[in-house]
Structure 1
Amino acid sequence: MQFVQKVKQNQQDLTRALAKALDTRDTHTLYHSENVANFSVQIAKKMNLSEQKCREIQIGALLHDIGKIGIAEHVLSKPGKLTSDEYELIKSHPKIGHDIIKHVNNFQDSGVLDIVLYHHEKFDGTGYPNGLKGENIPLEARIVAVADAYDAMVSKRIYKNEMDYASVRQELINNKGKQFDPEIVDVFLSLLDQGALRGNV
């Protein structure tokens, strides 16, 4: 039991260290990743996923943007619209992140790698990097995609203002079956309507 606890602690320390490393490049990322992890775990619990699966989702959500450590700082912090070339660079961050953590033993054969690689896939198949569609996208990544988009919408950045609660709610509804898994949106909206996830809105 002591060994298992030690392994879990080492995993937590590694996850935090990686997330903190990215924060040195993009100061908003750690706060964003912590929010996404919190929201994702609440969705997973509402869906009655196992404790182990919730743990994987928490770690994967904390690390979902780790690949941005390989993206030039001027692209990450650009206040204006990205050029097509810059957007292609941004789109490479899931694969970069996957390459960074795929050799960590504790992350292999878990949802962590799936989250990092597939959190920008869209339910209708128009996402990246692989254009996966529907339930071909791992459940963990579909959960994090909703939480990730929500936190992005309610957060102010140098290139955009935050959205109000009503607009965010409508955006999630409008993208059911398009960007997002409809079932996960419904679960998330139920949490929102309970006031559990208002966050920064």
Structure 2
Amino acid sequence: MIPDYILLKKEPLSKDEFSIIKQYPTISYLLTKAMFQTANKDLLYAILYHKEYIDGTGYPYQINHEAIPLLAKIISVADAFDAMLSFRPYRNNKSKYEAIRILREESGTKWDAEIVHIFTHLLTKKEINMV
């Protein structure tokens, strides 16, 4: 498990602390697999790989575009957007438009470009209102 002192830290994480945080996709995968023994394999892999980046610089396994399951790619974009909108003790939250700009700038490196395009298109449509 991730220690509370890391989860509740108000300053940016140290390199060692971030290496501990990088274990959370694996921990989440193992907990979900143990709790729901009939869990869908695609869902389990989406949990495990949702912090991987298209260019192979993500975690926990540094796999790249072709090896990342589609559902993990979709969750990765939604998770990143949500994280950017959320306040953290060590940084301010971003506006919806700033988060969209970042997603677009880093599409093709961090996130799948086609998924970012669809996601940001849906977010910017007038009839889509965020709760």
Using structure 1 for the length normalisation, give the TM-score: 0.61
> Shift in Å at residue 197 of structure 1?
5.3
**Bigger Rg over Cα:** 1
> Shift in Å at residue 158 of structure 1?
1.7
> Shift in Å at residue 122 of structure 1?
0.1
The one-letter amino acid of 2:84's match is M
Residue 84 of structure 1 is matched in structure 2 by 15
Bigger share in helix: 1
1: distance between equivalents of 2:97 and 2:71? 26
Query: Aligned ranges for residues 34-49 of structure 1 at < 5 Å?
Result: none
Residue 75 of structure 2 is matched in structure 1 by 144
What's the CA shift string for 1:62-108, capped at 9, x where partnerless?
xxxxxxxx10011001010111111111001111112212232221x
2: distance between equivalents of 1:119 and 1:73? 22
CA contact (8 A) 1:124 1:179 kept: yes
What's the CA shift string for 1:18-52, capped at 9, x where partnerless?
xxxxxxxxxxxxxxxxxxxxxxxxxxxxxxxxxxx
The one-letter amino acid of 2:37's match is N
> Shift in Å at residue 130 of structure 1?
1.1
Residue 162 of structure 1 is matched in structure 2 by 93
2: distance between equivalents of 1:157 and 1:183? 28
Higher deviation after alignment, 109-118 or 148-157: 109-118
Residue 99 of structure 1 is matched in structure 2 by 30
How many equivalent residue pairs?
129
Gaps of 5+ in 1: 1-69
CA contact (8 A) 1:191 1:197 kept: no
Query: Aligned ranges for residues 1-201 of structure 1 at < 5 Å?
Result: 70-103=1-34, 104-107=36-39, 109-195=40-126, 196=128, 198-199=130-131
> Shift in Å at residue 132 of structure 1?
1.1
Using structure 2 for the length normalisation, give the TM-score: 0.91
Which SS does the other structure have where 1:106 is aligned? coil
User: Is the alpha carbon distance of 1:114 and 1:157 closer, same or farther for their aligned partners in structure 2, counting shifts above 3 Å?
Assistant: same
Q: How many percent of aligned residue pairs carry the same amino acid?
A: 37
1: distance between equivalents of 2:45 and 2:7? 23
Task: Provide runs of 4+ in structure 1 moved above 6 Å.
Answer: none
> Shift in Å at residue 119 of structure 1?
0.7
* RMSD of aligned Cα (Å): 1.4
